[in-house]
């Protein structure tokens, strides 16, 4: 099994040798590799069993570091960077030739961000290369928000997990880029659209649900538990699954008296930020329970509620 610890120097040494290290961020734990080492990047895809057409996000310690690997061709994206970084925000930028094509799945743009986690920022400052760090889980499964989650899923495949505690946001980053001159959100995530629009103006949604993604995290079926998961009106779903053991994932003030129900309330006080923090943990717990099915209700389409609903719909999709 992987060693779990807080030794940044050890993590940096492993990464410099081309090995993989799980790292904490404010969003989820990432499976990190040296972006400039194509063999190391290849091992990320192999370890996660991730398809090569799904591009990776690179992580750097500062805005200044971004410009070594990508170009700010649009002032709106630069303004977002200076306003929010470090943050749960990823920008799609024209890549420089130093970035291997395997990182971007052959696309001309690279997804880049500055993570808001002190331990990982310190690690990044020690390195002379950026880190590719998709979520540290088998491809398509629920994302890890604690070091123990990584240990359960990938502990036998990697040497080290850098322990940064529980993730403070719990949802992957929001991905923003430019398409046809318009600022677009390509993935809903940990930075709300309302916050982005205050800085950059009105955005358009380009939330892909196909097998031809322009950015990470756009595949139709993703973030999914192994159990069947259904999203919709809870009362209707309960009636449809009345003869089964049910795990319920709900939001707000709710009371259920049926003893066959295992209830996970994302936020009893209807706080979407608290719900985001609990989402992947509760999906994981429901998946590990004795329930036959997992039933979820959608959240209000405001703030991080949009991103949570997006994750639920992808988790419920079956290929």
Spatial separation of the C-alpha atoms in residues 58 and 112, rounded to whole Å: 5
Q: How confident is the model at residue 209 (pLDDT cuts 50, 70, 90)?
A: low
Span 128-156, pLDDT tens digits: 999 999 999 999 899 999 999 999 999 99
DSSP the chain: --EEE--HHHHHHHHHTT--EEE--SSS-EEEEETT-HHHHHHHHHHHT--TTS--EEE-SSHHHHTTTB----HHHHHHHHHH-SSSEEEEEEBPTTS-HHHHTT-SEEEEE----HHHHHHHHH-SS-EE--BSSSTTBPPP-SHHHHHHHHTTT-SEEE---S-SS-SPPEEEEEETTEEEEEE--SS-HHHHHHHH---EE----SSS-SSTT--SS-SB-SSEEEES-HHHHHHHTTTS-EEEEE-SS-----TTEEEEES-TT--HHHHHHHHHHHHHHHHHSS-SEEEEPPPPSSTTHHHHHHHHHHHH---
Q: Is residue 213 scored above 90 in pLDDT?
A: no
Give 171 or 220, the one with higher predicted confidence. Answer: 171
Neighbour-count burial of 64, counting CB atoms closer than 10 A to its CB (0-12 exposed, 13-18 middle, 19+ buried): exposed
pLDDT-derived band of residue 317, with 50, 70 and 90 as boundaries?
A: confident
Across 204-222, average pLDDT: 67
pTM for this entry: 0.90
Length of the chain: 319
Inform me whether the pLDDT recorded for 319 exceeds 80.
no
Backbone angles phi, psi at 263, to 5 degrees: -105, 130
Residue 210 has pLDDT above 80, yes or no: no
State pLDDT tens for residues 234-244.
Answer: 999 999 998 88
Q: From residue 68, give the alpha-carbon distance in Å to each of 59, 97, 128, 135.
A: 12, 10, 11, 24
Q: What is the mean pLDDT of residues 282-302?
A: 95
CA distance 245 to 228: 12
d(CA 297, CA 120): 34
Instruction: Identify the pLDDT of residue 214.
Output: 64
* Residues 233-251 as b or e (16 or more Cβ within 10 Å = b): ebeebbeebeeeebbbbbb
Which domains can be identified in the chain, with CATH numbers? 3-205 (3.90.870.10), 228-316 (3.40.50.11030)
pLDDT tens for 242-290 read 888 999 999 999 888 777 789 999 999 999 999 999 999 999 999 999 9
């Amino acid at each position: 099994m992987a060693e779990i610890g807080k030794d940044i120097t050890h993590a940096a040494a492993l990464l410099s040798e081309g090995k993989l290290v799980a790292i904490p961020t404010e969003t989820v734990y990432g499976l990190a590799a040296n972006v400039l080492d194509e063999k190391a990047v290849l091992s990320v895809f192999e370890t996660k069993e991730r398809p090569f057409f799904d591009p990776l996000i690179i992580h750097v310690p500062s805005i200044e570091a971004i410009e070594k690997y990508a170009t700010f061709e649009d002032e709106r994206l630069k303004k977002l960077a200076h306003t929010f970084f470090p943050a749960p925000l990823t920008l799609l930028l024209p890549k420089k030739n130093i970035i291997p094509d395997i990182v971007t799945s052959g696309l001309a743009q690279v997804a880049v961000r500055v993570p808001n986690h002190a331990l990982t920022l310190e690690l990044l400052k020690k390195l002379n290369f950026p880190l590719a760090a998709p979520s540290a889980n088998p491809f398509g499964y629920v994302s890890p928000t604690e070091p123990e989650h990584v240990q359960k899923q990938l502990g036998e495949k990697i040497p080290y997990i850098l322990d940064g505690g529980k993730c403070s946001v719990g949802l992957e980053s929001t991905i923003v880029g430019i398409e046809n001159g318009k600022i677009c959100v390509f993935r809903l995530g940990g930075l709300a659209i309302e916050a982005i629009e205050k800085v950059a103006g009105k955005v358009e949604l380009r939330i892909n649900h196909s097998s031809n993604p322009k950015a990470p995290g756009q595949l139709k079926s993703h973030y999914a538990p192994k159990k069947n998961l259904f999203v919709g009106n809870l009362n209707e779903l309960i009636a449809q699954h009345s003869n089964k053991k049910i795990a319920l994932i709900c939001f707000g003030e709710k009371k259920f008296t049926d003893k066959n129900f295992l209830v996970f309330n994302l936020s009893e006080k209807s706080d979407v930020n608290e719900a985001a923090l609990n989402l992947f943990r509760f999906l994981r717990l429901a998946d590990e329970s004795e329930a036959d099915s997992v039933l979820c209700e959608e959240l209000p389409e405001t703030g991080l509620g949009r991103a949570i609903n997006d994750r639920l719909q992808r988790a419920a999709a079956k290929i």
